Structure 1
Amino acid sequence: MDASERIFKYHGLGNDFVVLDRRRTGVDIDAEQSRWLCDRRRGIGADGVLAILPSSRGLARMVVHNADGSIAEMCGNGLRCAVKYLVDHSGQHPALIDVETGAGVLTCEPGYGDGGVVGVDISMGPARLVAANLPSGTTGQPFVGAPVPGHEGLLGTAVNMGNPHLVLLDQPLEAAERLGPGLERHPAFPDRTNVEFVRVDEDGLTVVVWERGCGLTQACGTGACASAVAAVLAKRLPSNAWLRVTLPGGDLRIRVPDDLSDIRLRGPVAFVFEGVVALPRAR
């Protein structure tokens, strides 16, 4: 018999997540349960599942399960959803909270309004240009504005925001659906990669993201950060300024310091509904 469990649905700019609070048991879900919850016809429907687990390093630990059952190291939109859940159910109004993620412990600043937390300012940690899950993991050299092997005329920048990204500046946004699936699995990225298709505007960026394990989504927080990093590295936009990044679901604000040491993300978050589901048992 399947077990009943309370679930909570949130979204950040249309990037939607099911939140499961597993702090009492400390037991995560498996890939099949994640796929079922994310199924928009047979389950609840979401881009991902956020399992909230106990942590000795923060208020909680967030594990991000993609719609295909894989696990993402980090998710900026998901983290805002997790922060809203944690704070709104705490009965308190903290100025800052720490949440443990696959990209480390990240400090989050909730913004309050009607209905509790309405936005979150997140310290996303450093942007890394040399990492094991980027092409630089093999060469030891940053992959910045470099030709993408096997794709003539395509230049990309590889950025690790806790998870891997391939940013393509000045690429047609409509090419995401056509090129995204193949680039996600490019052999230069051993763990697959998120792919950003970016138009550089005078006052910011317009971005469409092909997300690893999800496909096209309404928004991607780490993708917005990686895109801003690539634009700053290319000297197309200034560092140390709050940059607009427009995604299909709306706008985020990203700040990139000169040394890439702590990327900041600011964006909205919303509660959708809560309910009880008969969650298939873990295998």
Structure 2
Amino acid sequence: MEFWKINGNGNDFITLDMLAAQKPAHELAELARRLCRRRASVGADGLLIVEPSASAHFRMRLFNADGSEAEMCGNGARCIARFAYERGAAPAEMTFETLAGAMRARVDGNFVEIDLGEQSFAPDWIDRPLTMDGAAFRSCFLWVGVPHLVLFAPEDLSRDDCRRIGRAFRHDASLFPQGCNVNFARPVGRGELTAVTYERGVEDLTDSCGTGGVAAALSASLLFGMDGPIEVHNPGGTNRVAFERLDGRRFRAALGGNTAVVAKGELGPDA
């Protein structure tokens, strides 16, 4: 089976074309668990699948490294759009299905932008104070296809701190019954943020999270009055979040950034 390895600012995916031969979800989940093992197999944050669609150019499915199926992923959506375009499955301006709804994307070389449509905050989750292990945060929570908690701390945290605190909030069922992604964000200049994300399903910090960057940018607009577009600097690179504020807690947002096709090959039987 042919695969492409693609990353969006370091958020990496194994991508497979299954337009002609679909597999059931339990087989795809097991395939993701096997293929995403780093050092033991190809290794990735997730597995992207292109399937046929009756209403769009194709259907996107994403399985995390632990085998769970995610509703959406910003960087994954950007990577699969480039894959579909370069393989001739979709034009440069395309639409595709996800579990979170239809997405529109535009491919321009290695730069890919997706229109995420309307995003809104829960009214009781705007600038909510939270504490964990003695650290105090200003927080926001919203769904950007998937659930995101955004935390702003008064000072920088180490990666070990982010990993420990992110894991604790991700598994706090009293606050987040479905779990959540946890983003540690910090304004660093006019129109710029740093962000690192503990991702549900990967169960670790990742080098980039597209939907997490959108959640962080929109939260920064509410809490700090930052105007768009906002550049979100992740450990793996920078994404650009453009947005329009519709009212006190609703936005329209788009996510753009670079993608990189790093490998193409055949999956071996031991993968």
Match of 1:20 in 2: 16
Determine which of 239, 245, 254 is the counterpart of 1:252: 239
Which residue identity lines up with residue 218 of structure 1 in the other structure?
A: D
Residue 228 of structure 1 corresponds to 217
Number of the residue aligned with 1:147? 129
| Structure 1 contact 173–207 (Cα < 8 Å) conserved | no
Q: Which residue identity is paired with 2:239?
A: L
1:129 to 90, 111, 121: 121
Give the whole-Å Cα distance in 2 for the aligned partners of 1:261 and 1:205. Answer: 18
Deviation at 1:237, TM superposition (A): 0.8
Unpaired runs of at least 5, structure 1: 113-117, 131-140
Distance in 1 of aligned mates of 2:152 and 2:255:
20
User: Identity of paired residues, percent?
Assistant: 34
Displacement of 1:272 in angstroms is 1.1
Please give the per-residue CA displacement for 1:23-79, whole angstroms capped at 9, x wherever unaligned.
112324432211111001222100000011111121111111111111111111111
Instruction: Single out whichever of 148-157 and 56-65 deviates more from structure 2.
Output: 148-157
CA distance in 2, matches of 1:158, 1:72: 18
Distance 2:104 2:31 in 1: 29
* Cα distance change on mapping 1:280 and 1:101 into 2, 3 Å: farther
- Residues 245 and 252, structure 2, Cα contact 8 Å, conserved in 1: no
Q: For residue 52 of structure 2, what is the aligned residue in structure 1?
A: 54
Q: Which residue in the other structure is 1:158 paired with?
A: 141
Q: Deviations over 1:171-228 (max 9, x none)?
A: 5342311211111112211211000001112221000111111111110000000000
Q: Distance in 1 between matches of 2:111 and 2:81?
A: 9
Structure 1 letter corresponding to 2:33: R
CA distance in 1, matches of 2:243, 2:124: 17
CA pair 62-7 structure 1, distance change in 2 beyond 3 A: same
Q: Which moved more, 1:254-263 or 1:64-73?
A: 254-263
Cα gap change, 1:74 to 1:168, in 2 (>3 Å): same
Amino acid across the alignment from 2:162: A
The CA RMSD measured in Å over matched residues stands at 2.0
Residues 131-159 of structure 1 show CA distances to partners (whole Å, capped at 9, x for unaligned) of xxxxxxxxxx4311112377663331101
Alpha-carbon distance between aligned partners in 2 of 1:127 and 1:173, rounded to the nearest angstrom: 28
Of 173, 177, 198 in structure 2, the residue corresponding to residue 190 of structure 1 is: 177
- Report the CA distance shift for 1:279/1:51 in structure 2 as closer, same or farther (over 3 A): farther
**Equivalent residues in 2 for 1:1-283 (5 A)?**
5-28=1-24, 29-90=27-88, 94-112=91-109, 118-130=110-122, 141-148=123-130, 153-170=136-153, 172-174=156-158, 175-187=161-173, 188-203=175-190, 204-214=192-202, 215-238=204-227, 241-259=228-246, 260-278=250-268
* Contact 2:9/2:208 (8 A) holds in 1: yes
Aligned length: 259
Alpha-carbon separation, structure 1, partners of 2:221 and 2:60:
29
The letter of the residue matching 1:196 is N
Paired letter, 1:148 = L
How far has the Cα of 1:280 moved from its partner?
Answer: 8.1
Deviation at 1:91, TM superposition (A): 8.1
Q: Is the 8 A contact 1:232 1:256 kept in 2?
A: no
> Aligned equivalents of 1:220 and 1:169: distance in 2?
16
Q: Distance in 1 between the 2:235 and 2:225 partners?
A: 22
**Structure with the bigger percentage of strand:** 2
TM-score w.r.t. length of structure 1: 0.86
CA distance in 2 between counterparts of 1:56 and 1:154 reads 45
Distance in 1, Cα, partners of 2:50 & 2:258 = 20
Q: Structure 2: state its 5+ residue gaps.
A: none
TM-score norm. by structure 2 comes to 0.89
8 A Cα contact 2:5 2:15, kept in partner? yes
